[in-house]
Chain A
Amino acid sequence: MSPTHASAHTPASWHQSIHALLKQFDVKQVAYVPDAGHSELIKQCHADQAMTAITLTTEEEGLGVLTGAWLGGQRGVLLMQSSGVGNCANMLSLVKMCRIPMLILVTMRGEWGEFNAWQVSMGSHSEDLLKMGDVKVLRAETADDVLDCVQAAAAMAFDGGTACAVLISQRAIGSKKF
């Protein structure tokens, strides 16, 4: 475990729980641009025969894919790191205009012990940008918050039809070490 972790949860444990939660919500399509913070969850989704894991070249593709999934009756989740939020700006109009029950899980960079200053710019504006796109934002500040936030966001998206993102803080994940 990284020395920056303050919680008893390991990354693997909350990722296991997120995967189980996504299954409870009948999520079938998992679209993602990889991030280290999502790597365990991505592995589990690829290993799950009931899910289709979809590797994207850029995050905005995922908003299109999951809109199509919903047209065809499947629920999905979009995984990305914070810099990917910036790649989504125009495509968020699709989600808004068609009122798609979008669930987005964002692992944060550039906010807590970040060694790479190039991550700080988008990391500082991810929340604002999602809000400008009319996506409801929940923040998981610690590892203990993550599962509750994902559950709440999934309920808002799939039960209520509200596009919803969870920003999983860098403090919860642990800063990247080189």
Chain B
Amino acid sequence: MNTSNQLFRREVVARLLAHRKDLVAITGLGSPTYDVAACGDHPRNFYLWGAMGGAAMVGLGLALAQPDIPVVVLTGDGECLMGMGGLATIGLQQPKNLTILVLDNEMFGETGKQESHTRRGTDLTAIAKACSISHVETLKDWAEIDAFAQRLEEIGHGPRFALIKIIDGQTERVIPSRDGVALKLRVREALGLHNQ
């Protein structure tokens, strides 16, 4: 296991999800989808392959519908920036079972590694705080990541937002299902819901 200070994205996600039991993971398009799939496919994974800016909103709707199930959105800085208004919508609803995890590499990785706003000063944690997200933090090292992973399924006092400044490292592209209907039916079945 990596003991350096460099927070390689795959290991960050693997450690964050290491203790998962009941949580549903919603992934933003691009690398977060591959990162979560690389931890092993799971019936409670819902991968987005498009709908940029929508991951946190899918998480919100699910968190409100299933208040006892932990809902974890894993997404990137670009996807989060596109849906920034949604942080205010989450702040207004205050779901206790929703956690947003932003893997911030300060670039648009899928499209040629163009610099994102976070490279030049945009602070997504400040935005999350300003949107009344109850618990906001930056996970700065492996100890903080492992500690957060232990608490990942806790239902707290309100929504949580954690940002991790990651580096990409060498990653294999792990391609999960792109069939939105199949992914939808699988999550619903895993939650014990009836599918017609």
Contacts and interface: CB of A to CB of B under 8 A. Distances in A.
A57 B84 CA distance: 9
Contacts of B156: none
Contact of A61 (B83, B188, B193): B83
Contacts of A94: 48, 50-51, 54, 58, 180
B65 A64 contact: no
Contacts of B69: 72
A3 interface: no
Interface string B48-65: 111111111111111111
Nearest to A97: B180
Q: How many interface residues does chain B have, given as a range?
A: 35 or more
Contact of B65 (A60, A71, A98): A71
A131 interface: no
Interface string A44-84: 00000000101111101111111111111110100000000
Interface stretch (B6-14, B34-42, B87-95): B87-95
B65 A91 contact: no
A71 B187 contact: yes
Contacts of B184: 70-71, 98-100
Given A68-B26, A68-B62, A71-B184, A91 B89 contact: no
Given A91-B51, A93-B50, A55 B65 contact: no
Given A72-B65, A72-B66, A64 B57 contact: yes
Interface in A108-138: none
Interface of B: 24, 26, 46, 48-66, 69, 71, 83, 85-86, 88-89, 92-93, 180-181, 183-184, 187-188, 191, 193, 196
Interface of A: 28-29, 31, 52, 54-58, 60-74, 76, 90-91, 93-94, 97-100, 161
